[in-house]
Amino acid sequence: MPRNKINISDEIEHLSVLNEKGQLDKDLEPEISETLLLNIHRTMLLGRRFDERLLNLQRQGRIGTFAPITGQEAAQLGAVAVLRSSDWMVPSFRETAAEIWRGRTMESLILYYSGFNEGGRIPDDMNNLPVCVPVATHLLHAVGLAWALGYRKKDDVVMTFFGDGATSEGDFHEGLNFAGVYRTPVIFVCQNNQWAISVPRSKQTRSQTLAQKALAYGIPGLQVDGNDLLAVYSAAKEAVERARSGGGPTLIECVTYRLMMHTTADDPKRYRKEEEVQEWVGRDPLPRFQKYLIENKKLLSKEKIDRLETEIKEEIQAAVERAEEQKSKLKEPLEMFDHVYAELPKNLKEQKAQLAGELSGNKKEDGHD
């Protein structure tokens, strides 16, 4: 029998609106209100400065390990800016700017990175899921949420974020397959920052793009310049409108770069060259967006940015002080044992007793009874 060719869609588009030199394609420029543009910029700048302050706090030993977002702000904010408050956001562990946009406080992040469970609590009126450290497992939660929204005949959507490394996990493929079969209203936003810790994207997959992985599951896929906020916004808006109208899921690959370390426990100089980093510094999304707002929209100036920098510095300092105050009022860590089991197992009783003894010894060393 002869072989017959099967016609399938095998085209993936790449979208760029504002290139790395700040040149604008007017034909592709999305309609965004001046208020929204300024709010996005403020959160973008806040996310960058808060990232820098968190790094200082970590190096001082005042918080634990965290994952910096510097260089990836546009990939996050361009996407979440199109969501409604009733929509759901399902983050991984590198979405600080998106979480702040969605209402999470900076002090809660500081508490979380200081090891306090209280910092990870999501308010009842906020449709965000907590940070998810295991790679790609949260994609299944996102798809489940989206399926439930459809089952309840709501027009809300779910947006979930993950890195390029997640596309090499089985959960990614299970999530996309389920979403495709059941046409769930979920937008998969892949922040392709080129490195899965120390593994480069080239050693993870033979696929020319990550967006093309959507084709296998019968859903739309699009690659965008992840450092171009306008391109990310346009792609996310199209995907959200499709999902909200019953058109099902979309995979968006945001090509960006992690300018800092994977986490503060990582030394990127051991596996990547500084020349590569500097090449991507030239594509930094923050000055690119600022140039657009100054030259094309006439909404910003150097003086306005300087004033905003001062405001943000004071805002971050106030959040640090609130977090430190909350730390001093939080209850004993022994409470972690009290709300898991109706009757504490023997091994946890032993651990609780051991921790109680260590805490008691620390108090005596500090001069407290």
- Residues involved in catalysis: 258, 262, 271
Q: Which of 329, 318, 346, 338 is nearest to 53 (CA)?
A: 318
Cβ(288)–Cβ(75) under 8 Å? Answer: no
User: Which residues make Cβ contacts (< 8 Å) with residue 277, sequence separation at least 6?
Assistant: 257, 259, 268
The percent of the chain in helix, strand and coil, each rounded to the nearest 5, is 50, 10, 40
What's the distance, CA 58 to chain centroid? 20
**The dihedral of CA 144, 146, 148, 150: what is its sign?**
negative
**Helix 106-113 × helix 302-329 angle, to 10°:** 50
Task: Give the tokens for residue 37.
Answer: 């543009």
Element (H, E) at 220: none
Angstrom distance (rounded) from CA 360 to CA 369? 8
User: Which residues make Cβ contacts (< 8 Å) with residue 109, sequence separation at least 6?
Assistant: 50, 54, 96, 99, 119
Task: Give the tokens for residue 202.
Answer: 């080239």
H helix intervals, 196-301: 229-244, 274-281, 285-291
